[in-house]
Structure 1
Amino acid sequence: MTGLPLALEMQAPIEAALSRLREGSAEQCLSDRTFSNLYLFRDAHDYRYLPGEWPCISGRTYDGVRHLMPLFSPADAPVDVLRELLRGHDCLYPLARCDAQRLPPGLFSQTDSPDDADYLYAARQFTDYPGRALAHKRSQIRQLLGAHRLHAKPFDESHCTAAQEVLQGWMRQKGKSAGEADEQACIEAIAHAARLGLEGFVHFADGLPVGFVLAQALQPRVYAMRFAKGLDTHIGIYPYMFQHFCRNFTRPVDWLNFEQDMGLAGFRRSKRSYGPAALIPKLRVRLRG
């Protein structure tokens, strides 16, 4: 692919463009539209920056499709510009439904996959875990609190070591080798959290680190849960951490975005178990002919 490999020095222009695209999208904001997400998963998707009058990010989806993420509203570009930009790429992706609706009718085809869709939850799902369907989450939290002394600290650079200990413990428990899963992205997220706009908590049980969450504001009151790691030895740590975030974060939380499940059965079961309010589609848009 053409373009420049993503580097931290590119943060300002890319984030400024993505901020304009996020503006006004409220809870429907796509989780992909932040520099931090692009930078941390630059190797997984072979992301490249294409600067210029019509800047873009090129990359590959998890299922191998070559795509172009425009850093502008596609409807603002002439069709000939889009045609030229798409040379060597299969589609524009990810586009929000409102972006695709503004394109000239008849010239584009649109598809979406449930594997790509973001999971969106109302924060009240986590603050109280209401109803029969979430009773097991309430039960897990009660058991966790009954068995351990828990406390949490807002994440800052002084808690990097504790978060890294949790990550390594999580890797061992999951039987992952170095570099597998999202280990490298998570290591960089911990190291560059402040610069990348990641905020959250490190959780301790009986004085030892057992979990952490790092989230990112997509819009006011809307947060993407970028990384959540907890030790399997402490059943209930995940529902507890999500509840704690929604109840104790320094700013109001109305919505959480858990990103996509990538078609992985385990991710899908876990994310659906919390009762999502909606799945936010991410469109793949192709120019006809």
Structure 2
Amino acid sequence: DLVTGYLEKFPPKISELTFTNLFAWRHRYEFEHAEFKHHLIIRSKNKFYPPVGKEPEKIIREIFEKNKKIKFVRIDEKTAHKLIDDFSVEEQRDMNDYVYEIKKLRELKGSDYEEKRNLINQFEKNNPDVCALSKHTVEEFFHLQRRWCDIRNCQENEGLLSENRAIIQTLKNIDQLNISGICIRVDNEIQGFAIGERLNDDTYVEHFEKGNTEYTGIYQYLLREFAKFIPEKFRYLNREQDLGIPGIRKAKKSYNPAYMVKKYLITE
């Protein structure tokens, strides 16, 4: 496949550039792709994502020569810096990815994580079991996702509705997508799950994380167990962006990211 081939040859830093992400969100963003001068070009409606190849900045310049009105979004910092003298370059703060050291998420040592450990201790009183995403457990994932959406009235929120569709698309195609994940069972019923995949040689990316908030500490427990589940060869976990939502930003900052993957909007 053209997309997979390019992403394997030129492993991305930004969370958007995985086949799973492009596939799962294709209805929301109307993704199209093409090959242009040995680069993968991805378009979403009237916007372009970072060209995937050896010289993305060169391709961006060429495309701007053909059309001055377009926008490039989610451009990585290295590419943006090469364009800063000739184009308008603006950081997309709400889209920056949070990247953590997996070892720290597994261990949660020190005073910074004391509250997380306390919440995990509370949740462990429910005697949870950790299970793996597979074709045998996927129907239970669907069940939890439906419940989660019913509680939050996803039908009335375009963002949640699109995310729900993306999760369903991902779960329906687990055999075709290069994803893995865990689930958390309490009393033999799934109450939380996390799904991710390899992003690049040293980084794993978490695409989706859902939990039943009737259980205090479930999200803290889920993240720790997901970090334990990730293969040892990966050093970092990219937990994607906060979308400018205050609650998500606070939660992601509270885990002390090792660094942020900054992204930029490029216009003429």
Would the TM-score normalized by the shorter structure come out above 0.5? yes
Aligned residues with identical type, % of pairs: 22
**Rounded Cα–Cα distance in structure 2 between residues aligned with 1:30 and 1:109:** 20
Long gaps (5+) in structure 2: none
Aligned residue in 1 for 2:225: 244
Give the structure-1-normalised TM-score. 0.82
Deviates more, 1:190-199 or 1:172-181: 172-181
Aligned residue in 1 for 2:77: 97
**Rounded Cα–Cα distance in structure 2 between residues aligned with 1:86 and 1:137:** 50
**Rounded Cα–Cα distance in structure 2 between residues aligned with 1:22 and 1:86:** 28
Aligned residue in 2 for 1:22: 11
Matches within 5 A, 1:9-88: 12-22=1-11, 29-53=13-37, 54-59=39-44, 66-72=47-53, 73-77=55-59, 79=61, 81-84=62-65, 86-88=67-69
Pick from 205, 218, 232: which aligns with 2:213? 232
Other structure's SS at 1:245 match: helix
**Rounded Cα–Cα distance in structure 2 between residues aligned with 1:58 and 1:125:** 36
Aligned residue in 2 for 1:127: 106
* Aligned-residue RMSD, C-alpha: 2.3
Matched residues, number: 263
Aligned partner of 1:116: which letter?
A: M
Cα deviation, residue 133, structure 1: 2.5
Cα deviation, residue 173, structure 1: 2.8
Deviates more, 1:223-232 or 1:235-244: 235-244
Aligned residue in 2 for 1:4: none
Long gaps (5+) in structure 1: 1-11, 24-28
**Rounded Cα–Cα distance in structure 2 between residues aligned with 1:68 and 1:126:** 30
* 1:142-187 C-alpha deviation (Å, 9 max, x unpaired): 11111x1211222111111111111112113323338851100001
Q: In structure 2, do the counterparts of structure 1 residues 224 and 55 end up closer, same or farther at CA, with 3 Å as the change threshold? A: closer
Preserved contact between residue 164 and residue 187 of structure 1 (Cα < 8 Å) = yes
Q: In structure 2, do the counterparts of structure 1 residues 198 and 233 end up closer, same or farther at CA, with 3 Å as the change threshold? A: same
Cα deviation, residue 68, structure 1: 4.2
Deviant stretches of 4+, over 4 Å: 84-88
Preserved contact between residue 120 and residue 221 of structure 2 (Cα < 8 Å) = yes
Which is bigger in relative contact order (C-alpha 8 A, separation at least 6)? 2
Preserved contact between residue 58 and residue 69 of structure 1 (Cα < 8 Å) = no
Cα deviation, residue 70, structure 1: 1.8
Cα deviation, residue 106, structure 1: 2.8
Aligned residue in 1 for 2:239: 258
Other structure's SS at 2:266 match: strand
Cα deviation, residue 17, structure 1: 1.7
Preserved contact between residue 212 and residue 229 of structure 1 (Cα < 8 Å) = yes
Pick from 135, 155, 160: which aligns with 1:157? 135
Give the structure-2-normalised TM-score. 0.88
